[in-house]
Chains A and B, each alone.
Chain A
Amino acid sequence: AQSVTQPDIHITVSEGASLELRCNYSYGATPYLFWYVQSPGQGLQLLLKYFSGDTLVQGIKGFEAEFKRSQSSFNLRKPSVHWSDAAEYFCAVGLITGNQFYFGTGTSLTVIP
């Protein structure tokens, strides 16, 4: 079945530590890939997106993500987490065929001092 999987429901990291949030997808063709962030009480904001080309994409707030076709993954990374990064992170895929857009279930990030 077609799906977007974020295997980690909740992650806790220390401020200043590195971060990696996992995202895997299961679709026939390479989809368009997105990471969104939702701060408490807010709407979703786009962090970065991948359409084609360089598989390492840079986003806002110091985030980056790497597309790995062989693993059907699009993991989000940040070298040094700040307390303000505490939020819910959603991976999403877009399919031109069928005009479809799917969100993963989200990963909640807690940052401890």
Chain B
Amino acid sequence: DSGVTQTPKHLITATGQRVTLRCSPRSGDLSVYWYQQSLDQGLQFLIHYYNGEERAKGNILERFSAQQFPDLHSELNLSSLELGDSALYFCASSPTRLAGYNEQFFGPGTRLTVL
């Protein structure tokens, strides 16, 4: 158990809909990272937040957005969903803002299925 929690575990929705994925980092970790894992794209970095502020953006679509709240939990919002958004979405956390330096602790993931 990494200490990172993600809800829900599974999510099934229809095209065009909007969903919110939630992540609670390990106690004491200030950084939260979001990743998308699909069979054809592999593990793709989406976005990094540190202590409520966006630190880095990866291959995140404009239809997707994220935020980190004062209690350090984070939410990833996916809107106007398409079939191709079906994937496993991981959240990870680390203690500092230095993404390149710290080990990242991964949650169990949320499996999103868009029908």
Contact = CB atoms under 8 A, between A and B. Distances in A.
A42 B109 CA distance: 7
Contacts of A32: 100-101
Contacts, number: 62
Interface string A82-98: 00000000100111111
Contacts of B35: 103
B56 interface: yes
B45 A103 contact: yes
A95 B43 contact: no
Given A99-B56, A105-B42, A44 B106 contact: yes
What 8 pairs between A and B have smallest CB-CB spacing?
Answer: A94-B100, A43-B106, A44-B106, A95-B100, A101-B99, A103-B43, A96-B100, A105-B42
Given A42-B108, A99-B99, A100-B56, 10 more contacts: A34-B103, A43-B90, A43-B109, A44-B90, A44-B104, A45-B2, A45-B106, A98-B100, A100-B99, A103-B35
B48 interface: yes
A46 interface: yes
Main SS at interface, chain A: strand
A95 B98 CA distance: 9
Contact of A101 (B2, B42, B100): B100
Interface of A: 31-32, 34, 36, 42-46, 49, 51, 90, 93-103, 105-106
Contacts of A103: 35, 42-43, 45
A4 to B, nearest CB: 11
A33 B74 CA distance: 26
A90 B53 CA distance: 28
B109 A102 contact: no
Interface in B1-23: 2, 4
B25 interface: no
Interface in B73-115: 90, 92, 97-109
Given A45-B2, A94-B100, A94-B101, A99 B106 contact: no
